[in-house]
Structure 1
């Protein structure tokens, strides 16, 4: 009997949409328009595994620059699990990212497996779920009125490396809601809300302090009254956790943020909501 061979190829945008559909089936609740932003960031960084021309597994390995990459969308269809196909996809992703510091947000059950591959726990992200309500505070401004260079500079303070390609596509998604807040003429926080398979997700939610974060959270939740809203908060940001709970949000899910090298030095006390568990 001939041994089956897994054929691994780089995804097209349509294949990436299929992988995002698989993520929805897994309960990860991706955004409706995530695939385009993901793909444009690094079109070479998405891999699909095929058996006899059937797509059976996916992984993303996005290289933001020569020093930092991020792994996500690591999925093998249930009927093909436990046969080693996932490991082959994993190896392709790791090989592509090479010597970069690699980050991922892994489900807790897989944390030990990632440690065996050299990943070390940095912190956890806790997903909170609530309902939109309230009114938009007067202090907020549409993010579209903030100069692009100012948005990018602010975002770069809260992410391991500048991510201009990703960010430009992310904040220009269809149906996006995005606010900024300024203090003494400078951007002091911004937040983005996008439509997902179930409800809406807020991410990122970056702010200089909890007061600005609260204004942004109020504004974003007010735009989707009575709709389900999700927010992924670093467990080290106790003010962020308290803020989510203040707005009657409940923890529903948890992931482990891990890196292969030293965790980037980030102001996690100003990260009140991570951008996306798939790309960091």
Structure 2
């Protein structure tokens, strides 16, 4: 019996992809094969090119953040370059662990769509990931197409947009909530690793440092029960809450309000799994945030143990963490 990865390779050899699969989130079949641009590994200094795969809703990451994410797998990002040296396509094939990989940051410029180039990008990504369980994040409309390729739906994620809040200081006084600045970050890294199952120390440390603002929730014995970060985006006075990883919805709510109070009246985004309906109600009913998008997380071998019930804000749907 062939493995799910071999089956996926077989299917991709029969289908050619066009459009934008992940953040652009459209998969189409193409029928014309033409010479494709050259594909090579992306260097860290070229990581800002990943921004072309980001959505147009204002949630684009800063170039410095893309470089931090590039560090998840320095060999796992690929560029398509035409004869003039212009970047015409990107894809990330991130080896998160020895058993888990994730495909994201997919983009092909319109000129090179429907010409066989997309297939070559995907083949390069799958070759890099080998026999790992592969994850992707796609639009709801594309779930059936991905199921035909061997992916299994695991959960839906909503993108919510709102603004920071003005709260009286006395409401925010909570000795259990501590700013990350000045904390021993080893505790936060250990919590992230033990909860997510992914060892990503450089990413956590790089993501949490200034200009980000972060807080952790601690028990009386100083044990970390969750943490959250609010991160500036590429557009001015626009932010993203990511990650928000906690033991329960009550802690998530406390951290969320603390983070939102640090950016009163400024635009903010959060990607929240919809498996937590009580948290979704906090976003939409209490904070009047609007759901502006929805995607579906899928894997070739099922959920690898990602703690959906503890993940109230996803760091990056393109990176799988």
Task: Select which of 197, 216, 222 maps to 1:180.
Answer: 216
5 Å-filtered alignment, 1:217-232, equals 217-232=256-271
* CA displacement at 1:111 relative to structure 2: 2.8
Task: Tell me the equivalent position of 2:232.
Answer: 195
Q: Is the 8 A contact 2:36 2:117 kept in 1?
A: no
Q: Is the 8 A contact 1:40 1:165 kept in 2?
A: yes
Q: Is the 8 A contact 1:23 1:30 kept in 2?
A: no
Cα distance in 2 between the residues matched to 1:191 and 1:254: 22
Unaligned runs of 5+ residues in structure 1 are none
1:84 and 2:116 aligned: yes
Q: Is the 8 A contact 1:234 1:268 kept in 2?
A: yes
Secondary structure at the aligned position of 2:195 is classed as coil
Greater alpha carbon shift after TM alignment, 222-231 vs 76-85: 76-85
Deviations 1:218-257 (A, max 9, x none): 1111111111111111111112211212211111011111
5 Å-filtered alignment, 1:142-153, equals 142-153=179-190
* CA displacement at 1:116 relative to structure 2: 3.1
In the superposition, the TM-score normalised over structure 1's length comes to 0.92
1:269 and 2:301 aligned: no
User: Going by fraction, where is strand more abundant, 1 or 2?
Assistant: 1
Q: Is the 8 A contact 2:102 2:134 kept in 1?
A: yes
* CA displacement at 1:71 relative to structure 2: 1.2
Deviations 1:237-278 (A, max 9, x none): 112211212211111011111111121234322211111111
Cα distance in 1 between the residues matched to 2:58 and 2:139: 10
Greater alpha carbon shift after TM alignment, 262-271 vs 86-95: 262-271
Q: 1:191 to 1:161 in 2, by over 3 A?
A: same
Task: Tell me the equivalent position of 1:260.
Answer: 300
Task: Select which of 95, 112, 116 maps to 2:148.
Answer: 116
Q: Is the 8 A contact 1:209 1:270 kept in 2?
A: yes
Greater alpha carbon shift after TM alignment, 98-107 vs 54-63: 98-107
Aligned CA-pair RMSD: 2.0
Unaligned runs of 5+ residues in structure 2 are 1-33
In the superposition, the TM-score normalised over structure 2's length comes to 0.80
Q: Is the 8 A contact 2:156 2:295 kept in 1?
A: yes
**Number of aligned pairs?**
277
Q: 1:259 to 1:89 in 2, by over 3 A?
A: same
* CA displacement at 1:28 relative to structure 2: 6.9
* CA displacement at 1:63 relative to structure 2: 0.9
Task: Tell me the equivalent position of 2:10.
Answer: none
